[in-house]
């Protein structure tokens, strides 16, 4: 597989948007990542340029993300990195970095979190076929 996989730490720029693509749940949010560098000569930290990513996730992950994350939450995102090109409303071609997420969680270096396991869905039980009376 030749996909570019990335792990990014950052902050949610807005609440999660949960929608459906057909019957499949899809969640997306904007993720802000601002690198910090320490300058040993001045013994001070400085912020780099903030990078923005659109993060998309599907199915059960989408539902869990929508119920767990809020604007401003620190998160760690792992997934496939893609560069998308599109024409915006001003007819200008724009490039955007998007992550198709495989795993997302709170960044526990910045706080605490409480995990709740998602219950497994029980398979539907088909009604027993009736046998004709003899």
Q: Which domains does the chain have, with CATH numbers?
A: 4-88+100-106 (2.40.50.140)
For tokens 């659109």, name the residue: 54
Task: Measure the CA–CA gap between 69 and 4, rounded to whole angstroms.
Answer: 25
Instruction: Give the DSSP H or E segment for 70.
Output: none
More confident residue, 133 or 3: 3
Indicate yes or no: pTM above 0.85: no
- Residue 114: pLDDT band with limits 50, 70, 90: confident
Percent with pLDDT over 90 in the chain: 70
């Amino acid at each position: 597989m030749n996909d570019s996989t990335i792990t990014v730490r950052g902050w949610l720029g807005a609440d999660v948007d949960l929608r459906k693509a057909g019957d499949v749940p899809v969640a997306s949010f904007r993720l802000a990542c601002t690198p910090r560098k320490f300058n040993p000569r001045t013994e001070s930290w400085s912020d780099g340029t903030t990078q923005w990513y659109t993060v998309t996730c599907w199915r059960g992950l989408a539902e869990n993300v929508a119920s767990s994350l809020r604007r401003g939450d620190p998160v760690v995102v792992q997934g496939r990195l893609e560069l998308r090109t599109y024409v915006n409303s001003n007819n200008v071609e724009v490039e955007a970095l998007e992550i198709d997420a495989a795993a997302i969680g709170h960044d526990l270096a910045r706080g605490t979190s409480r995990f709740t396991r998602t219950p497994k869905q029980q398979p539907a039980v088909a009604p027993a076929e009736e046998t004709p009376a003899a």
